[in-house]
Amino acid sequence: MLILLPMLSLLLQQIMILSDRTIKEKIKNGNIKIEPFNIDDVQPASYDLHLGNSILIFDEQKHQVIDVKEPVMDKMKRIEVKDGDPYVVMPGSFLLANIKEVTGVDNKHVGRLEGKSSLGRLGLIVHATAGFLDPGNELRMTLEIANLSPLPIKIYAGMKIAQMAFEELDTEVENPYGSKKLGSKYYGNMEVMPSSMYLNFQKTDFKKPKKPIQKR
């Protein structure tokens, strides 16, 4: 038991979320990048991020099915919203939007995108699953926004929409995001981009129909 305590203490130190003080130090040292940066957006253990101007929605009138083996860009419409202008998210609807800030981390840090509690209490979800900023990546993160409430919700370009917490890894990663061997699909994206899931199938034999099992 006495041997395990130091190991547990070391492990906890390795996965701690960065405080406001440390976030500012890491930005100054270049370990974390946030542009534009505003000191007023630093929270106790995160940084507030703002809604960008580009939105992607599915064209439901022309398309009825999403095939994960095929590109979906032709199934989506791009909408540009000026700063301060509203966009109405209908109940049950889904859209992709970008973050106004460019965020990045070096090879020893990660970022975790989280929603704002005030928006969550309205039924607005800002990321369905992909809220992770990988080591070595720098981009405008894409939000996966859904309205779970029974009423339409107005959101405004430039409003606070999410927050990002940062963590320091125990060591630098061997292969940061964007490394050639990883085939990273969203490295350095500066515009809101649709899913690139179809690329996974190009690296496999999933497209080849399997031979049916013959019964004897």
Distance CA 54, CA 121 (A): 24
Q: Which of 144, 167, 168, 172 is catalytic?
A: 144
- Our CA angle for 134, 137, 139, nearest 5°, is 115
Cβ(104)–Cβ(33) below 8 Å: yes
**23: in domain:** no
- Our CA angle for 15, 196, 169, nearest 5°, is 10
pTM for the model stands at 0.81
Number of structural domains the chain divides into: 1
**14: in domain:** no
- For this structure, is 144 an active site residue? yes
**17: in domain:** no
* Range with top average pLDDT, 13-22, 150-159, 189-198: 150-159
Residue 107 to residues 32, 59, 102, 135, 205, Cα–Cα distance (Å): 10, 38, 17, 5, 32
65-70: long-range pairs with CB below 8 Å, 24+ = 68/195, 68/197, 68/198, 68/201, 69/198, 69/201, 69/206, 69/207, 70/198
CATH number at residue 53: 2.70.40.10
**95: in domain:** yes
* Token pair for 81: 């919203």
* Token pair for 195: 């899913």
**1: in domain:** no
**161: in domain:** yes
**135: in domain:** yes
Q: Which domain holds residue 49?
A: 41-192
What confidence tens digit (pLDDT) does each residue in 128-157 have? 776 889 999 999 999 999 999 999 999 999
**134: in domain:** yes
| 207 pLDDT above the threshold of 50 | no
